[in-house]
A = this chain, B = another copy of it.
Amino acid sequence: MSINEISANRSFGGWHKQFTHTSSVLNCEMRFAVYLPPQMEQGKNVPVLYWLSGLTCTDENFMQKAGAHRMAAELGMMIVAPDTSPRGDDVADDEGYDLGKGAGFYVNATQEPWAKHYQMYDYVTRELPQIIEGNFSVNNKKAILGHSMGGHGALMIALRNPDMFVSASAFSPIVNPMNCPWGKKAFTAYLGSDEQEWQQYDSCFLLEQAEKQIPMLVSQGDADQFLTEQLKPETLQAVARKKNYPLILEIHQGYDHSYYFIASFIEQHLKFHAEHLA
């Protein structure tokens, strides 16, 4: 699993780097970004934080806009940011911003024309961690977080893999994709119309079934334009309360869906994960 370094920027004493590689899971060339904290140059094996981005994003948005490198450097965490879908001219796409390229929803598609490339669940949970562990000096501790569609991805993946991740968090996540327009559109296209097939990717459903608990933090702005139609974090909170699941939901007054919100609270999220990654 060879990877090609295509860019490198010194950042907070560490490195921001981008790599390309041929993904056998997605059947295409992919790009991902990492932040390598200064501790890695000092020979230390560090824990890994996987960041999943939202609709329309690539590996770049979080790295450029979240201001996360400062705390990752201080706490000694590697950050990995994959792309949000398979890429390339022969990859199926849709005109909508919320389906196809930039909108993989972190599922394994079973339907045409998506199934050949849209296997983002396997990519994030299997192929990418293998690449990271094969190419970087990391230890075996992992946490996962994301924003919006990537918040859905982070919570859903953590709920399905509680032995893989020590903690999960999300900004403005889609917590119940089976019951919101973004989720219904994407799941119908990628998974077909049988809603039973959707449950395995729905955090509310998964949390209801969860046996093993891991700490979860969700941050949500109350001025988020998508709050009432798409996100509805109180749905997840209700399930968590019923199950006594360790979910913290924080509502922040006046904050919207943008990276300004993420930047404002990324320090809190990184410190939350650091506690569990230590």
Contact = CB atoms under 8 A, between A and B. Distances in A.
Interface of A: 9-13, 16, 64-65, 67, 69-70, 221, 223, 252-256, 258-261, 263-264
B65 A263 contact: no
B263 A67 contact: yes
Contacts of A255: 9-10
B69 A12 contact: no
A234 to B, nearest CB: 20
Contacts of A221: 10
A65 B61 CA distance: 10
Contacts of A253: 10
Contacts of A10: 221, 223, 252-256, 260-261, 264
A264 B67 contact: no
Contacts of A13: 264
Nearest to A16: B260
Contacts of A254: 10
A70 B71 CA distance: 12
A261 B13 CA distance: 10
Number of copies: 2
A11 to B, nearest CB: 4
B64 A259 contact: yes
A264 B11 contact: yes
Contacts of A70: 67, 263-264
A252 B13 CA distance: 10
Given A69-B263, A263-B69, A9 B256 contact: yes
Contact of A258 (B9, B65, B256): B9
Contacts of A9: 255-256, 258, 260-261
A171 to B, nearest CB: 13
A254 B16 CA distance: 12
Contacts of A252: 10
A68 B78 CA distance: 22
A9 B262 CA distance: 11
Nearest to A256: B9
B260 A11 contact: yes
Nearest to A68: B67
B223 A263 contact: no
A70 B258 CA distance: 16
Contacts of A256: 9-10
A16 B70 CA distance: 21
Contacts of A64: 64-65, 259
A66 B160 CA distance: 36
A252 B10 CA distance: 10
A275 to B, nearest CB: 21
A44 to B, nearest CB: 19
